[in-house]
Amino acid sequence: MSDLSQFPITRRWPAQHPDRIQLYSLNTPNGVKIGIMLEETGLPYEAHLIDIAADVQKTPEFLSLNPNGKIPALIDPDGPDGKPLPLFESGAILIYLAEKTGKFLDPAQRYETIAWLMWQMGGLGPMFGQLGFFHKFAGREYEDKRPLERYVNESKRLLGVLDGRLEGRDWIMGDYSIADIASLGWVRNLIGFYEARDLVGFDDFRNVGAWLERGLARPAVQRGLVVTAKG
């Protein structure tokens, strides 16, 4: 049996199955990426809900795993050379799990797939997140609407980039990959939780809409979306 006692986070969130991947997350757009990936790959894992509304991600135990204080993070008890591997940043975790399993990262398209993953990490996620803040949360009370306009316009631009990429393709790389897994939760969140469908003219991006429907129809995606949902 794996010994994870070297990781302080396991004192606050004990591992009932220490031989499985330990996932620390919440079903946010970044958090669901790893739940989906684990479900898609079939890797055995144990999920621990990290309630960011209660600021538990700022506790010493969590910060010992991710000094940046964000979800998701994980420990793989069977990492490289059979040693436990702690890892944070959703993009890095997706690449690691893809390489561990040989799934959803075609070697022939490796760098282009990673480029689209980085596009999501650096653009799609941050811009959609800012739009959500200024449209639905505290930012909507700001009298100056220029920030909202900026993020609406940039979100539309990014949707246009994705729509163009999906012309004639079912998935971003042709075949389903970590690029899709990284982006599905964010697009779903934009038109769902952020209530920005009309704001960004989402229905004009028909390729994106069809891609989202295909993604959300996957059983592993449906399961991954609720892996660390609050009860």
pLDDT digits (tens, 9 = 90+) for 168-203: 999 999 999 999 999 999 999 999 999 999 999 999
Share of residues in the chain with pLDDT > 70 (%): 99
Residue 130 near residue 149 (C-beta atoms within 8 A): no
| Residue 1 confidence class, pLDDT cut points 50, 70, 90 | low
Domain ranges within the chain, ordered by starting residue: 8-103, 109-218
Average pLDDT over residues 222-231: 93
Fold of 8-103: Glutaredoxin (3.40.30)
DSSP element (H, E) containing 188? helix 178-191
Q: For the segment 106-139, what is each residue's pLDDT rounded down to a tens digit?
A: 999 999 999 999 999 999 999 999 999 999 999 9
- Pairing verdict, β 85-88 and 21-25: unpaired
pLDDT of the residue at 2 = 77
User: Which has the closest alpha carbon to 187: 29, 19, 14, 1?
Assistant: 29
Q: For the segment 113-122, what is each residue's pLDDT rounded down to a tens digit?
A: 999 999 999 9
Report residue 67: phi and psi, to 5°.
-60, -20
Q: Give the N- to C-terminal CA distance of the chain in Å, as an integer.
A: 30
Q: Residue holding tokens 């010992």? A: 64
Report residue 173: phi and psi, to 5°.
-100, 10
For the chain, the farthest-separated pair of C-alpha atoms sits apart, in whole angstroms, at 58
Helix 90-101 and helix 178-191: axis angle, to 10°?
140
Ramachandran class of 67: left when φ > 0, alpha when ψ lies in -120 to 50, beta otherwise: alpha
At 215, is the secondary structure helix, strand, or coil?
helix
pLDDT of the residue at 93 = 98
Q: Is domain 109-218 classified as CATH 1.10.3720.10?
A: no
Calculate the alpha carbon distances from 36 to 47, 98, 117 in Å: 12, 12, 15
pTM: predicted TM-score of the whole model, two decimal places: 0.97
* Mean pLDDT across the chain: 97
